[in-house]
């Protein structure tokens, strides 16, 4: 976790890519945390932030890629939006996995929780692909985190169409646990476009 007093806060600008309809809803009522079983870093709101690559471009690419339904072979929406929001969080509630200290802290807590909750990880038929999400949720709860930052790999359109698989990070993402940390008055649309 970041060093410092718990009453010192840090501000982040995050970019979120989605359909124009969902973006309009978010701008009106705020973000609703994801609670999908395959969330990368646990349940919450996902943003692209400054780091490895341009967060605005990453959010645009993500919005375009999420429009495509690979099972039904059609676009779920034709117009995308990139929205930005300001997130204010106390330093003591941030775990930054882009740093060595952050990774050391995460790995220490992960090992402790896996040993403590061993029965949760030896369930017949469990989907091992969701272990990161489950472990992140446990770490977030154990450390009372509000924000998790991580480098991540996300396919762009070319990589998806060529079925490229990689584990080398190409973007920096931020998971915000509580929607109230996203200042609703700061949410605005920074780009829209048509998917071709």
Question: 4 in a domain, yes or no?
Answer: no
Question: 79 in a domain, yes or no?
Answer: yes
Query: pLDDT: is 155 or 172 the higher one?
Result: 172
Average pLDDT over residues 160-184: 92
pLDDT attached to residue 24: 96
State the average pLDDT for the chain.
Answer: 90
Question: 3 in a domain, yes or no?
Answer: no
Average pLDDT over residues 37-48: 91
| pLDDT per position as a tens digit, 19-41 | 999 999 999 999 999 998 778 89
130 φ/ψ sector (left φ>0, alpha ψ -120 to 50, else beta): alpha
| pLDDT per position as a tens digit, 93-146 | 999 999 999 999 999 999 999 888 877 666 777 777 778 888 999 999 999 999
> pTM for this structure?
0.89
SS3 153: coil
Here the tokens at position 117 are 């909750």
Question: 181 in a domain, yes or no?
Answer: yes
Indicate whether 1 pLDDT > 60: no
pLDDT attached to residue 169: 95
DSSP 60-105: HHHHHHHHEETTTTEES-SEEEEEEEEEEEEGGGEEETTSHHHHHH
Counting the structural domains of the chain, the total is 1
Question: 69 in a domain, yes or no?
Answer: yes
Phi, psi of 108, deg, nearest 5: -65, -45
The Cα-based distances of 140 to 43, 54, 61, 81, 175 in angstroms read 9, 26, 28, 29, 10
* 48 touches 170 (CB < 8 A): no
Confidence of residue 3 (pLDDT cuts 50, 70, 90): very low
pLDDT attached to residue 147: 96
Here the tokens at position 93 are 């509630």
Question: 150 in a domain, yes or no?
Answer: yes
Here the tokens at position 55 are 């967060």
* 58 touches 168 (CB < 8 A): no
Domain holding 101, by residue range, is 9-194
pLDDT attached to residue 5: 44
CATH number of domain containing 121: 3.90.228
């Amino acid at each position: 976790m970041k060093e410092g007093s718990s009453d010192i806060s840090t501000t982040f600008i995050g970019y979120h890519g989605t359909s124009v309809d969902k973006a309009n809803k978010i701008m009106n009522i705020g973000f609703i945390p994801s609670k999908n079983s395959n969330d990368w870093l646990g349940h919450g709101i996902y943003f692209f932030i400054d780091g490895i690559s341009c967060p605005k471009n990453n959010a645009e690419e993500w919005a375009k890629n999420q429009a495509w339904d690979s099972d039904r072979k059609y676009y779920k929406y034709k117009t995308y939006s990139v929205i930005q929001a300001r997130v204010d969080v106390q330093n003591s509630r941030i775990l930054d996995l882009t740093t060595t200290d952050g990774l050391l802290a995460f790995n220490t807590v992960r090992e402790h929780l896996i040993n403590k909750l061993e029965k949760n990880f030896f369930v017949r038929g469990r989907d091992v692909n969701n272990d990161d999400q489950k472990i992140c949720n446990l770490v977030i709860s154990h450390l009372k985190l509000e924000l998790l930052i991580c480098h991540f790999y996300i396919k762009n359109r070319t990589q998806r169409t060529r079925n490229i698989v990689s584990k080398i990070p190409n973007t920096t993402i931020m998971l915000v646990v509580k929607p109230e940390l996203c200042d609703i008055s700061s949410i605005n649309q920074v780009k829209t476009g048509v998917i071709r």
